[in-house]
Structure 1
Amino acid sequence: MVLFGLFSHLVFSQQEGDTLKLTREYKDSLFIDEVEKPRSNQKPKVLHAEPLYIDLIRDLGARKGEKEWNIGMGMQDMRRYDEFEALIEYEWAPIDRLGLEVELPLSMYSFRNGNREGTIPANRLESLKLATQYTFLVSEKSNISLALGYIHEFELVDLNKLGKGQTFKGNIYNPFFVAAKRWNTNYHTLIYTGPVIEKEFDKKANFGYQINWNFHYMVTGTRNFIGMEINQELEGDKIWTTLRPQMRLGLAENLMVGIVSAIPIGQPDAGLGSFVRIIYEPGFKAIH
């Protein structure tokens, strides 16, 4: 009787586990189908997790009419002082697979604990940033998307110099490539990479290169995820790496919040940091 009871318990547990697995698979399939299924004359789209710190211009495979507001705020420990950053951006898709973006990033600095030795960078509205991104390949069979994009920043002078003469001090040119793949239903990988050329007026250009690696796990049947964004900057023989563990939570159908930590690697002048991104998608409405 004891053996029969134990066997029955094992069978029931197995059936319960199989039922839960099937339920999760059904929810994932339903949600992915909801996001990817084309309506009217729309083109196919593959669901991918989007990084939260260096984000995309628009979803890969974006569809005409999609739009999104972002507000971001963050702080970085720079040992002698703190760096505060903020941004506001608007992105939209005028046609299928083409994303456009306008962004205003702001940086402000403050000495730590009353220490005023040395100097700190001047507060500034960093630039007027304009960007575009086109998804040139969407493979539904392989769950892969590829895109090319370009960011142009019109660099602004420090805040204390605005209105006192020259407004812009140079340009930043940043073409980039994006490749993303979803593995099964929950696991996502993405690479975002390209050169960065900064050219201030009457000065020599600085050349650098960015490589951003991304790994995410998306929670079954939702847009919530946890993951890791790895930002690398290369300039000459130097390389700066920052790990950014992160999570995204849905607060409503069209409102999400992203929470990011910053862990610099091999950067003695930089400590831990944090960043929060508020994501609002006007008109987005889930079906299920």
Structure 2
Amino acid sequence: MRSKVAEFVVFFLVLSSPGLAQQNRVSQQRIPQQELEDDREPYKILHAEPLYIDLIRDLGARKGEKEWNIGLGLKDNLRYDSYEALIEYEWAPVNRLGLEVELPFTFYSPAEGAARDSVPSNQLDALQVAMQWTFLVKPEIATSMALGYLNEFQLSPFDSFGNPLFKGNAYNPFLVVAKRWGRHFHSLIYTGPIFEQDYRSGTLETSYEINTSFHYMVPGTINFIGVEFNKEIEHGDFDMTIRPQMRLDISETLLVGIVAGIPIARENERFSAFMRLIYEPIHKKD
């Protein structure tokens, strides 16, 4: 599986590389920093958004902004390999409010020597809906803050789909704090509890996420390189996955994000890779 992960990352690096020399010129024409941070109201600060646990919408989103995401991932578990896919749509109906709908899928393949019935069933994991409100934008210190809420209506696996349709629910309020250091260095914290309810057993499990990220944005472009630290605390157990990543501006409306996953002290998960295609139509000024 490690070779599969490596091939996955190399494939998308090669796929995106022919346009690298051109894309910097495109980025300078399309989104210079002064255009994102002009005098229009409401004021919006440019922040680097993490690629794996991404935001609901840009911090300080302006009315009419919208974005489509398609994600593909591979994950190496001890007993099986999992293949992730997601379709996501996010938009801003009013200034500084972002909304999102996401459909995440997971498909499983047994590891060599493992029985097929020993792995989970393929499934549409959930219907996810979320909102995010940017309540603070401070240009003097290049800082934005937002509150949000994500709800997962968890679905039954395909082999028992509809029986029942919804097997549980997850409630995730969160806080986002982002700061740009100078012109090119970015940091962000995305944190909050997750309350996961199982309808059949009636149990309610609680965990806590602390996701931090640090990025360097290439001058004159919106390309960046960085790292994301996804941390989770559940039942007193601490897990963390380090995710080195890069984002490339492919065309006027298309970006690609490439992420590798390196788990720390995870009992059941090993290396992973993830790719996100981001389509953002040009937002017309009012």
TM-score category (smaller protein): 0.7 to 0.9
Secondary structure of 2:36 counterpart: helix
Aligned length: 256
Residues 285/256 of structure 1: CA separation in 2 closer, same or farther (3 Å cut) = farther
Secondary structure of 2:140 counterpart: coil
Shift of 1:118: 7.0
What does residue 185 of structure 2 align with? 187
Further displaced range: 216-225 or 119-128:
119-128
- CA offsets per residue over residues 77-116 of structure 1, 9 Å max, x none? 0022101111000000001100000000011110123532
Q: Does 1:254 align with 2:248?
A: no
Structure 2 Cα separation of the partners of residues 31 and 283 of structure 1: 14
Secondary structure of 1:141 counterpart: helix
What does residue 230 of structure 1 align with? 229
- 2:68 touches 2:90 (CA, 8 Å); kept in 1? yes
Equivalent residue letter for 1:183: W
Q: Does 1:196 align with 2:194?
A: yes
Further displaced range: 154-163 or 95-104:
154-163
Shift of 1:227: 0.2
Residues 93/38 of structure 1: CA separation in 2 closer, same or farther (3 Å cut) = farther
What does residue 102 of structure 2 align with? 103
What does residue 33 of structure 1 align with? 34
What does residue 15 of structure 2 align with? none
Structure 2: tracts of 5 or more residues without a match = 1-27
- CA offsets per residue over residues 169-209 of structure 1, 9 Å max, x none? 11100000000000000000000000000001142100000
Moved over 6 A (4+): none
Residues 188/104 of structure 1: CA separation in 2 closer, same or farther (3 Å cut) = same
What does residue 169 of structure 1 align with? 167
What does residue 157 of structure 2 align with? 158
Shift of 1:267: 1.2
Q: Does 1:86 align with 2:57?
A: no
- CA offsets per residue over residues 6-37 of structure 1, 9 Å max, x none? xxxxxxxxxxxxxxxxxxxxx7xx82211111
Structure 2 Cα separation of the partners of residues 33 and 285 of structure 1: 16
TM-score, normalised on structure 1?
0.85
Greater Rg, structure 1 or structure 2?
1
What does residue 145 of structure 1 align with? 144
What does residue 112 of structure 2 align with? 113
Equivalent residue letter for 1:104: L
Shift of 1:236: 1.9
Shift of 1:269: 1.9
Shift of 1:283: 2.4
Shift of 1:117: 7.5
Shift of 1:271: 1.1
What does residue 134 of structure 1 align with? 133
Structure 2 Cα separation of the partners of residues 89 and 57 of structure 1: 10
Structure 1 Cα separation of the partners of residues 35 and 258 of structure 2: 25
Structure 2 Cα separation of the partners of residues 38 and 99 of structure 1: 21
What does residue 61 of structure 1 align with? 60
Q: Does 1:221 align with 2:236?
A: no
- 2:153 touches 2:166 (CA, 8 Å); kept in 1? yes
- 1:128 touches 1:153 (CA, 8 Å); kept in 2? yes
Shift of 1:285: 7.8
Secondary structure of 2:270 counterpart: coil
Secondary structure of 1:252 counterpart: coil
Structure 2 Cα separation of the partners of residues 102 and 285 of structure 1: 23
Structure 2 Cα separation of the partners of residues 137 and 38 of structure 1: 17
Structure 1 Cα separation of the partners of residues 116 and 125 of structure 2: 25
